[in-house]
Structure 1
Amino acid sequence: MLGGIAAGGTVTARESATRYIVDLKSNARLGKVDVVHDLSQVGLAVVEGQERDVRRLGTYAPDIEMQLDLPAVEHIDTTAVAGYDDPLYGLQWDKQAMDMPDVHDMCKGEGARIAIIDSGIDASHEDLNVNVGESKNFTGDGLGKGVPAGGYHGTHVAGIAAATTNNELGVVGVAPEAELVDCRVFSTGPGASFADILAAIVYAADIGSDVANLSLGAYPVPRSDLAQFYGTILNRTMTWANSQGTLLVISAGNDAADLQHDGSFISLPNEGAQALSVAATGPIGFGWDAGEKTAPAYSPSVYTNYGTNAVTLGAPGGDYDIDAYLADLPGWWYDLVLSTVPGGYGWAAGTSMAAPQVAGAVALLKGEDSSLNANQVESILTRTAWMPEDYDKAYYGAGFLNPYGALKEIGL
């Protein structure tokens, strides 16, 4: 078993000297450049070539690389606990807090499709159902698809959303009968190309994904003329995906930042148009003695970004007590989120873990009623969320995720 803790996300952006994102003129001819991603659905192209040739095509800017801090890991042991016949369910405080047994008595997301835009999913994991045929590697690294080439993060995210149930293995996902599609935008290095992320969003919508989960981001991004270009094309791409029926669920970030009052900075892509931005909650003292520091599963996580108009929902992402962590007190890791990792199972905490809880809830609704569009699904989730007492609304947006209430809202 692997366990880990999410550190605050320090993000940097590095411009590419050879790759550009172009907002194409109507009469643009791409003959003198190499096209990396044809995003004509949204009037864009990602190209490689000489800047003088790119200039003729339209407004452009260099591609940028997003750097993300990922959780650390360590070895711990666990034991089988009754619940489902999935032996680790008893350690999943996140699923217990959302009444998953009652939810799954109503539906399990059959027929829904979840795109995971991340570091890659281990499609060989016995607890995951990955459509490798529809999966795609956007990085150009030649390492294939349905593989965790960018690290364990994408596999962990995938399991939170849709690990299978009642298979005598591991953990329970929110939508265990939904189909996962691996859209890998991270390679062996720590960065992901902004252009590759745009391409993955367009692809997820093109293949009919009901929801795309993006547990990634860049913050702080200064509000400058260049940032306005990136923001404009991001908003256009996200709005188009939403219009195609693909709801974009995005982590709010792990900087403990007030996104509502951060002045001249923005957070991308979770502050983009049509984003369903998710903040993290978590317990202190689940399965171990935290003394007077005990907190419920719906309490805001110490690291989560927040902001009344910058967050749509709060959802279980895990928390930790820093003193217990530094002292390595037995059981502190139980407050993190347990999910799949390549070759096994592990704990991690972050808004990266909160977002797929919501993505799974989207899949539950779409699996039950495929006629719902993206805006209708988001409306149902926000209407049925509940607001914890004694906590600041800025950490929740509309409230704490309530899959059971959402399914009841559509008549189950």
Structure 2
Amino acid sequence: MPGRRIRLTLVGVVIAVAVPPFAAGPALAAALPPAAARLALPGCDNDDQLPRAVPAVPWAQKRYALERLAPLATGAQVTVAVIDSGVDKTHTQMKGRVLPGRDYLDPGLDGSRDCARHGTGVASIIAATPTRGVGFRGVAPQAKILPVRVSEQKVIEGKESGKTAGVVALANSIRWAVDNDADVINLSIVYYKDNPALKSAIAYAVEKDVVVVVAAGNQNTEGNPTPYPASYDGVIGVGSVGEDGQVSAFSQRGPWVDLVAPGGAVLVAAPERGHVVDNGTSFAAPYVAGAAALVRQYWPDLNARQVAERLLATTDPAPGTDRDAYGAGILNPYRAVTETAAPARRPAAAGLPPHVIDPAEVARAERRAVTQERALWVAGLAAAVAAVALLLAVVLPRGSRRRWRPAGPA
């Protein structure tokens, strides 16, 4: 994606978290939930109450009417790596969806511990199983989640808390996810300093045909600093909109925004059970990652670039004209799966790398053209020879019988 850079920040479940330009590692971005919505997790430093399941259908699920997609695509046989704060595999809607992953904070664990509640919320938007009596469900409910735990750092009221693995470990985690068969990677993480290891890891994922979806960041009102990995080439940078379709005030603007998705006051699953309302581009990104999983299942012959082109080409029009805020428009998973005209890309859509002309491919095309032209000449000549042969086969015998005298009345 020309001129784009990537950003590393986790944005989600009612916790607002971000990494300042001098930070040494990735951080989560969200907004703290009210006391009644907090939870008590074994081994985690909190004593919050468990939230309850929410029966009402959240606005984002209403917007996308995800049940329409169920007969077409569910994300089956697609693996989405969630590189985040871990993913709780015991939540009712996540059971059976979470693969053994990797923990870069507590080596030896499988990535299913989530003290920050961020990664579980992100993963639930992608793959939460539809459940009776619960209105919330994931975009690709049969996709598999590969959890990779790299940070539980949060910034609350301007203060950082929690562990983080650092940017080099983040880069290593991306490579690990690629090498462990991820088809899509979701990075609801923002880092505000360019880093060669991180940039190289993103390039590695793109080279290996993995769809990389990243959050655009939540610091629009705090100077709108350049986010990484969102501004790196080859990723899909995602901004946030609210229920009215307007870009969220916190959602960062810039050429790194390729499209937008629900991220304002969205419902997500919380570890163990129940749901919480959260805000952030961290939660907009997994809507796009889930849609990418649907496209990868329904159109298995498309490469990662073509999947990205399809997602951008099938967006809904944004209510505003600021391309830095909305990118190509608002995500529409149903159109991304069903439209036959895609992946024709809209003009000037940001984020995707330019098409590179392959000289070998051009030479092959020229050779094919010459071969076809010669074949047409040969076919024409053969037809002419056949016509002459047919003519001689008819005329010569008759002329010989008449001794070459012109025919006349009897």
Q: Distance in 1 between matches of 2:177 and 2:89?
A: 18
1:302–1:113: structure 2 CA closer, same or farther, 3 Å change rule?
same
CA contact 2:253–2:325 (8 Å) conserved in 1: yes
> Partner of 1:277: helix, strand, or coil?
strand
2:260 is aligned to: 314
Q: Distance in 1 between matches of 2:81 and 2:33?
A: 25
Q: Distance in 2 between matches of 1:349 and 1:383?
A: 26
> Partner of 1:267: helix, strand, or coil?
coil
TM-score normalised to structure 2 length? 0.68
Amino acid corresponding to residue 275 of structure 1 in structure 2? V
Given the alignment of the two structures, is residue 399 of structure 1 paired with residue 329 of structure 2, yes or no? yes
- CA deviation profile, 1:177-199 (whole Å, cap 9, x unmatched): 11111111125724341112111
In the TM superposition, 1:42-81 aligns within 5 A as 64-75=24-35
Which one of the candidate residues 129, 142, 157 is aligned to 2:122? Answer: 157
Given the alignment of the two structures, is residue 245 of structure 1 paired with residue 200 of structure 2, yes or no? no
1:171–1:372: structure 2 CA closer, same or farther, 3 Å change rule?
same
> Partner of 2:70: helix, strand, or coil?
helix
In the TM superposition, 1:18-167 aligns within 5 A as 64-75=24-35, 88=54, 90-129=56-95, 134-139=100-105, 141-142=106-107, 144-166=109-131
C-alpha deviation, 1:88, in angstroms:
4.1
CA contact 2:26–2:165 (8 Å) conserved in 1: yes
Given the alignment of the two structures, is residue 193 of structure 1 paired with residue 157 of structure 2, yes or no? no
CA contact 1:89–1:172 (8 Å) conserved in 2: no
> Partner of 2:26: helix, strand, or coil?
strand
Which one of the candidate residues 298, 303, 320 is aligned to 1:368? Answer: 298
What RMSD, in angstroms, separates the aligned Cα atoms of the two structures?
A: 2.7
C-alpha deviation, 1:234, in angstroms:
2.6
Amino acid corresponding to residue 62 of structure 2 in structure 1? Q
> Partner of 2:204: helix, strand, or coil?
helix
Q: Distance in 2 between matches of 1:136 and 1:199?
A: 11
Q: Distance in 1 between matches of 2:62 and 2:324?
A: 24
C-alpha deviation, 1:233, in angstroms:
3.3
Q: How many residues align?
A: 307
Which one of the candidate residues 225, 229, 235 is aligned to 2:199? Answer: 235
> Partner of 1:160: helix, strand, or coil?
helix
Larger Rg: 2
Residue segments in structure 2 that go unaligned for 5+ positions in a row? 1-11, 38-52, 154-161, 343-410
Amino acid corresponding to residue 247 of structure 1 in structure 2? V
CA contact 1:127–1:170 (8 Å) conserved in 2: no
Which one of the candidate residues 125, 135, 146 is aligned to 1:181? Answer: 146
Residue segments in structure 1 that go unaligned for 5+ positions in a row? 15-63, 78-86, 222-226, 284-295, 319-335
TM-score normalised to structure 1 length? 0.68
Q: Distance in 2 between matches of 1:177 and 1:164?
A: 7
1:103–1:133: structure 2 CA closer, same or farther, 3 Å change rule?
closer
> Partner of 2:285: helix, strand, or coil?
helix
CA contact 1:123–1:146 (8 Å) conserved in 2: no
- Structure of greater relative contact order (alpha carbons < 8 Å, 6+ residues apart): 2
